[in-house]
Structure 1
């Protein structure tokens, strides 16, 4: 303004209207300040217009045309009409979140060819019409989360050919059309959550050739079907989080993926999905936290040659088996905190020399010889600031691993070899069809695990089924004993300190329906009285007679109904015959017929 005044005073020949024109031109040069709407805050330096939380019901007048960033969030905009942003063609970022927008008219963004970011989060949209994003050729980021969208129709995003990130979470989606994502050839990041989908939209996702990160959260699907993610060859990170019903992965559900990171957290998996995982040979990071998984089996993850990190936090893990991580030469981090582990043996790993970080905190650890390898390496292992502590024995309960002396071997970290209490040779004889029970109690530190070996050298454990059961206390139960079950059974008690064994001989006698004795080897076995009394026999005979009579009656009814369906019953039949010795010119006569009566 001062510059304009000086010019005006130095030239008296200028007319008054020329002076006024010069003043107006000067104001236009500073127009970004003077042209800002009264309810907005503008910045000439950053070329921004902040009209946030001003109760606006439409686009305010007077927004400078060279504005790059426009914030209209937390207002009362209900809809966006065609060409409403036509005068703001230089916009690069448009914030429309937390309004009540329910409809976007096709052509709304036609002139915003330079727009990079569009945020429509937390509005009232139920459907996105075709052409709603027309003109957004350079859009890189789109956020339509927290709306009420129920369906993505074919070609909803077809104009967004350069889109990199799509945030579509927290909507009411029930259906995604097969061609909904057609045109998103450069999309790299997709988030969908809190949807009402009943299955994975496989065909729609297969249009996303360049997708790198896929986040699917809070979806109520219980089964991931085979080839659910086919076509996503570029996908590196897959997150399936808070699927409360998800408990099953089909064997080929992850087939064709080249993932490096997989998150399946807060779901309902009761076991590690070994078969689907075996296809993921490039996987480096696996997180199965907050699933009710109880055991990691041995030799089941060996196909994941590049695996570096395994997380299973907050589950129900009780056992990490021997060779659980066998073959994983790049394995560096294991996080199994907040589970129910009492121990973690060195034999679970391919090489503990490669292990860098170990999280065992939050487990009821039993400090015996099985954990001695951790005590010896505790100065080199990284516990991520969460030191493991002993839960037993009682004299060190609550003591952290770092508090044990370095020089003297802690007496708690020792093991006692199992000892079976009653090792006296036993011989048991029973009748065929009865249940036999063999007890086997052993002492030791840690508590020994009980196995049984059958006469056929078959190992019977707690996982056995059918007629042979090993109970939790080590008792062997044989149900409905058969003659072929006879033989020598071996009880084996095993722990980290060693093992002990004891033998039991079983003889199963042939069942007989009469009184008397039977001879087995060098001894005689009495079968006892007949197993059924008179009352039982009478009831059994009556039930059999009734069943037989009912069957005969039903057959009679069936034959009767069938015969009635054949029409009127004939009581006689005429039979024609050829007399013996007649020639080839025989003629039929009444004498060569006779009538037979049917009864």
Structure 2
């Protein structure tokens, strides 16, 4: 009857509301994201909606996981169980989660990983196990994780590197374990980009250790017991970031230690035991942007004077300058290295007596007196200032630095290294003796590497602009490094950062949303498509997408051209950029003229026929395509609705990406994602 039908409908509605109800102690602002932070429950919350994509249950006091903890969640892609008290995981616990991409089990009390712990997680891309008590990992524990991109195992109690046959792995962190030696062939991840092996107690690195790692960009061997710079580093010509910090047994840097590291951009040699840096050091790294040398007992004598002059005259940034001080000699003890002048280093000077020249006379006059002799002491070996002072008046005797015989015929060296500025930018020496790029209209960034649309920066304004809050500092064929420091400093009480990026070169330009903690100073978006233009935007977490967002665009390099440093755009490239728009404009004009002609003839024909034809609008159906952004797995594309922005509303995924193979290899405070 009608009453029974109404009652049945009400029951269905009630059951639907109950199924989508938010668990007690949780927040469900996004219907597919459930945030249960500090809920203080010993089990995973029950009654979760089956369409949940992201589940955050960190710092809940959970002690164990049961077989049905994740039953009924077939669509779950992100699971955060960090900062709980989980001591063990039963086999096949995660098997129902066939769509899981991100799993965070950090800061628990796990002691062992078996071959069945992660059984069924074939789509997993990020696995965080840091800050546990793991002592043993089964040899086949990660065999089924063929799509894994990131694996973090730092701060555990491992005694050996676990077997890693992971062809798609990009980041591996096993720092701060108890692994005194690493055997050759321990890393089978041939595509790894970032490797962190700090604080293991290593005394040396085998020269055959990195035979297969030709794509390694970042290496951290800090806080070990190395006695010299490992010779294996000479094989790693693709390195852009190297940290040797905290190896206090290294007391000397030799010129041959850094051969072949021509692509290095960041170097950390802080807290070693070196008292000088070889003068040839500056020529080893033509692309160096930043160096950290704090905490070393520097002997600030004449052999060290070149370092201050090099830092002041180049674009290299000396990090932690307040901790970079002199220990010797006593007169310089405690002084900041970068504040010393050339005279403070005690370099010897030479005295040059310039004779008074005689004016030639006619042949009828007596010959001129013989020229007095000029006293020149022995030349000092490259310890004086690199540039001579003002020329002394004729006939005077003035002490002045002397660095070698003059070479008036050779042109002065260029101020800027080659290929410093991109996209036609002009390099110059700024007011602070730092190199800066003058960017043409439409480009910005430290090296004019960021294309800006809709704005026209003044060519007379050096880049980067002080108000710029987002910049892309490093570009490769598969990744973009985004600098977040300026944005964080410009925001008070920032809870977190919302970062989105989209591929402007592909058929699907929908953004991928990430949530980052406010403690990150930089973020690397990985697994991108080569030779594609990406638009990256950042904004405050927890607010809708608005004008508060700051965006930048950059193009990844072609697959055959790996980026390690800025490369200047050639004249042929500029010519191409001029010809292509001109041809496009001509083609567009031709199309417009053809369409106008056709329209006029069509009107005349209609008037002649005295008939009217109403044109029905053409309905376009949106085609939902897979995101092109780095699909490292071979499974079918699954684009969660949380990644789609509609009507200006945002799709929020707290603190860690929920569905896409971009990743963050920068350590931060909790929550750590």
TM-score normalized by structure 1? 0.52
2:68 matched to 1:57? no
Q: Which residue of 1 aligns with 2:2?
A: 14
Residue pairs, 1:519-530, within 5 angstroms? none
Shift in Å, 1:450? 13
Aligned partner of 2:227 in structure 1 is 247
**Do structure 1's residue 332 and structure 2's residue 339 form an aligned pair?**
no
Distance in 1 (CA, whole Å) between partners of 2:184 and 2:325 is 35
Structure of higher CA gyration radius: 1
Contact 2:275 2:296 (C-alpha < 8 Å) held by counterparts:
yes
Aligned partner of 2:100 among 104, 115, 120: 115
Cα offsets for 1:119-173 (capped at 9, x unmatched): 1011111110002112222222211111001133322212222222222111111
Q: 1:57 to 1:274 in 2, by over 3 A?
A: same
- The residue aligned with 1:164 is 149
User: What is the correspondence of 1:31-42 to structure 2 with a 5 Å cutoff?
Assistant: 31=18, 33=20, 35-42=21-28
**Matching residue of 2:241:** 261
Instruction: Give matches, 1:98-137, under 5 Å.
Output: 98-137=83-122
**Structure 1 position 192, deviation (Å):** 2.2
Asked if the contact 2:228/2:252 (under 8 Å) is kept, the reply is no
Conservation of the 8 A alpha-carbon contact between 2:234 and 2:259: no
Write the deviation string for residues 506-547 of structure 1: whole angstroms up to 9, x where unpaired: xxxxxxxxxxxxxxxxxxxxxxxxxxxxxxxxxxxxxxxxxx
* Alpha-carbon distance between aligned partners in 1 of 2:400 and 2:206, rounded to the nearest angstrom: 41
Root-mean-square deviation (Å) = 3.9
How far apart are residue 275 of structure 1 and its match?
Answer: 3.0
Where relative contact order (Cα < 8 A, 6+ residues apart) is larger, the structure is: 2
Distance 1:326 1:278 in 2: 23
Is contact 1:302-1:325 (8 Å) kept? no
Out of 304, 327, 336, the residue aligned to residue 362 of structure 1 is 336
Count residues in correspondence. Answer: 351
Question: 1-side partners of 2:146 and 2:335: how far apart?
Answer: 48
Shift of 1:302: 4.0
2:201 to 205, 213, 220: 220
How far 1:62 moved relative to its partner?
Answer: 1.2
Q: Distance in 2 between matches of 1:415 and 1:46?
A: 74
2:58 and 2:70 map into 1 onto residues whose CA distance is 15
Of the three residues 160, 164, 176, the one matched with 1:181 is: 164
- The Cα shift of 1:278 comes to 0.9
Of residues 251, 259, 277 in structure 2, which corresponds to 1:278?
259
CA offsets, 1:148-205, max 9 Å, x none? 011333222122222222221111111124xx211x2111112222211101354222
Look up the match of 1:26: 13
In the alignment, the residues of structure 1 paired with residue 207 and residue 262 of structure 2 have an alpha-carbon distance, to the nearest angstrom, of 18
The answer for the alignment partner of 1:565 in structure 2 is: none
Q: Once the 2 structures are TM-superposed, how far is the Cα of residue 361 of structure 1 from its aligned partner?
A: 7.8
Write the distance in 2 (CA, Å) between the matches of 1:98 and 1:140.
20
Report matched runs for 1:433-512 at 5 Å: 497=401
More strand by share: 1
8 A contact 1:80–1:105 mirrored in 2: yes
Q: What runs of 5+ residues in structure 1 fail to find an aligned partner?
A: 1-12, 344-359, 372-390, 394-413, 420-447, 452-458, 460-494, 500-599
How far apart are the structure 2 equivalents of 1:152 and 1:449? 67
Contact preservation (8 Å) 2:305, 2:345? no
Distance of 1:273 and 1:77 partners within structure 2: 52
Distance (whole Å) between structure 1 residues aligned to residue 378 and residue 95 of structure 2: 72
- Does residue 1:232 correspond to 2:200, yes or no? no
Q: Measure the CA separation in 1 of the matches of 2:44 and 2:168.
A: 31
Native 8 Å contact 1:192 1:215 kept in 2: yes
CA distance in 2, matches of 1:321, 1:222: 29
